[in-house]
Structure 1
Amino acid sequence: MRPERTPSWQRKCVQPSKKWIATKCQFFCRHDSFVYRDGGFSLRKPKWLVKPLPDARALKRMRGLLSDLDLNTICESANCPNLGECWAKSTATFLILGDVCTRNCGFCDVPAGRPAPLDIHEPSRVAEAVRVLGLAHVVITSVTRDDVPDGGAAHFAATIRAVKNACPKTSVEVLIPDFSGKSESLTLVLEAEPSILGHNMETVRSLHKRIRPRFDYERSLGILAESKRLAPSIYTKSSIMVGLGETEDDVIATLKDLRQVDCDFVTIGQYLRPSRENVPVEEYVPPSTFERYRQIAEELGFRYVASGPFVRSSYNAAAALETTDGDNRSACGRSRC
């Protein structure tokens, strides 16, 4: 396994001297917005980003199931702040194609390196987990697999079909990588007929090259556009993070870009730095701004919008289908298999 690369934003950093730290502490300690931790200053989390402690019994039950079935979740791999809340409701977002990514985005906590070969039995194990949990709606995502010719598209399709065979009434949402822009890979996934196909923009155009250096903004828009062209009846979805240094105009421009490709659903959430190896938070966006983004997105014509500090692409994901005309699946419905 190759060693992890140092993020580009970190390479020019110099460890501050004790004198520098002492001087800065005299200033920053007078300001509640900053905290000194692990050799550097960072923004202090505001009160609206404090989460209650998770239910230990629910965590133990879910970890036991995942361990028994040898499955990964993005909840754990990405250090999601909603893990406790979602697992207490017996919901999780399954991470397929392994737990090592071939890319190294600045915001993501999933390990980068050389992944293991694909596990051909993984689709059936995901389907079994969905059956045991009695999920009415399931979200399946993955790491990026540039080492696989189709990017893992056939594996995605096999997982969708396995879930639909085991639980015919369960709606399936997939959150896919860019498959290096290969239309044939996207077609493989769409032919399995998920209810929702998601591909995240993650950030605004001006920050894309810094935050996601191996992804392309236009390519990501193209995936959503091509999906709608190939399968108009399948809902498309995307998500962006804020707090990375973008402006309000940047966010609105990205929302307009998504509507230009007829994206149906969008989610907007606060970027939270998962570790010191990831890009720092530039701003903690207040709830009032998230509410303004929600109103703007709805005015632009999105069929469903979720916007808030803890919103993530797969957080309360069934709500999008619940609020869409003609589809009344329940987010907390039990045993719809």
Structure 2
Amino acid sequence: MQRRRELLQSLPRFPSLLRSFSSAPSPPLQTLERDPSSQTLSPSPPPPPAANRLADLRLRLAAEAPDLSNFVYSVEVGTKKRPLPKPKWMKETIPGGAKYAAIKAKLRELKLHTVCEEARCPNMGECWSGGETGTATATIMILGDTCTRGCRFCNVKTSRTPPPPDPNEPSNVARAIASWGLDYVVITSVDRDDLPDQGSGHFAETVQTLKILKPTMLIEALVPDFRGDPSCVEKVAKSGLDVFAHNIETVEELQSVVRDYRANFKQSLDVLKIAKEYAPEGTLTKTSIMLGCGETPDQVISTMEKVRAAGVDVMTFGQYMRPSKRHMPVSEYVTPEAFEKYRSLGMEMGFRYVASGPMVRSSYKAGEFYIKAMIEADRAKAPLGNYGPQLEQS
């Protein structure tokens, strides 16, 4: 009952936006349309400016006030002693398939790490095999497998003094990825507060080497916050990547509860702003948050507004899953219907793409399929040589 009261008390603070959840029809997921003069798929035309959309959204408000059912959150709150059971929609697929097996064998051979395995991602088999879309993706973790930070949700092992980075890792990773036949790769890393440049140089070298070996591959760099150092952000943003991603992880109000004390909302938002400033025209920025950590709907909406105001193009929402009993408990399981409400509102706010669902993760194959098509369509429309990431000469 206390949780119900908290949610109900929170709703009036954003009455115009919240009421639209119950009254406004949900727009369909951004569809891909076939250009008659082209053999490629292209996303739907971009929506009108965000200010106009929000104004139109407020004009469609219903007369009745919203209630808890608009968000369909579970009311029961999980604790360490009494964790919530998984609902029926949280089903995982057992990994398998020839491409999955080949990638896993190569990873072991080269002693490479993936966040897919370290974080026990439920979508690993689907992403590595290509799934329904045929766009095979993987998320490679560089700079070792030991993080200098200790976020309460993360399963990656931690140490104040992790082993030094492997100087051959950028070339090993690039050669391995180039040989896998992937269309889209996500390169991420642990936090390396122990290094003078926070590992940004290692990151940039990996991206540049891979682009030389396979220029057509689309690369997303999912980076740490580099302690907010603009020079580190600039180095990666200009490395030749296609998508600059940095996760804010949770709503602004829960940052200190969920993340390491060295991370915070403003610092993460600044990283995304700096990346947008330094990255070549056409580079997308992306972030992600977990739901089910104890956030309220109005906190989620406020966070979305601030992220969009920072110029972020893509945002994803997924259900927080507790990796082990040592980690932060799941506060609640958010229903698929509630995830769809956030996706719909995100598109209304002006994000170019929003992936939202219980099993969605920040590096999710289905989302990457749409992002890939979006980038290719943008490049097809732009004058030759005027679009897209350019490799910075070192």
**Contact 2:93–2:122 (Cα < 8 Å) also in 1:** no
Is 1:138 the equivalent of 2:185? yes
Gaps of 5+ in 1: 1-32, 329-337
Is 1:295 the equivalent of 2:335? no
User: What letter corresponds to residue 166 of structure 1 in structure 2?
Assistant: L
Q: Cα 1:40–1:184, aligned 2, differ >3 Å: closer, same or farther?
A: same
Distance 1:294 1:128 in 2: 37
CA RMSD of the aligned region, Å?
2.2
Dislocated runs of 4+, deviation >4 Å: 56-59
**Contact 1:91–1:133 (Cα < 8 Å) also in 2:** no
Is 1:251 the equivalent of 2:300? yes
Is 1:47 the equivalent of 2:109? no
Cross-structure match for 2:360: 311
Is 1:283 the equivalent of 2:329? no
Specify the SS of the correspondent of 2:158: coil
Bigger Cα displacement from structure 2, 125-134 vs 109-118: 125-134
Q: Cα 1:272–1:43, aligned 2, differ >3 Å: closer, same or farther?
A: same
Distance 2:155 2:83 in 1: 18
Measured after TM superposition, the shift of residue 87 of structure 1 is 2.4
Length-normalised TM-score, structure 1: 0.83
Is 1:65 the equivalent of 2:106? yes
**Contact 1:304–1:323 (Cα < 8 Å) also in 2:** no
Cross-structure match for 1:93: 139
Cross-structure match for 2:266: 218
Match 2:374 to one of 299, 311, 323: 323
Measured after TM superposition, the shift of residue 69 of structure 1 is 1.6
Q: Cα 1:47–1:162, aligned 2, differ >3 Å: closer, same or farther?
A: same
**Contact 2:238–2:280 (Cα < 8 Å) also in 1:** no
| Per-residue CA distance 1:196-215 (angstroms, 9 max, x = gap) | 10010100011001111320
User: What letter corresponds to residue 70 of structure 1 in structure 2?
Assistant: K
Match 2:171 to one of 124, 139, 161: 124
**Contact 2:184–2:372 (Cα < 8 Å) also in 1:** no
Cross-structure match for 1:76: 117
Measured after TM superposition, the shift of residue 277 of structure 1 is 1.1
User: What letter corresponds to residue 326 of structure 1 in structure 2?
Assistant: D
Match 1:164 to one of 207, 211, 218: 211
| Per-residue CA distance 1:9-33 (angstroms, 9 max, x = gap) | xxxxxxxxxxxxxxxxxxxxxxxx9
Sequence identity percentage: 45
Measured after TM superposition, the shift of residue 319 of structure 1 is 2.1
Distance 1:290 1:260 in 2: 21
Gaps of 5+ in 2: 1-74, 131-135, 381-394
Give the count of matched residue pairs: 296
Cross-structure match for 2:155: 109
Is 1:152 the equivalent of 2:199? yes
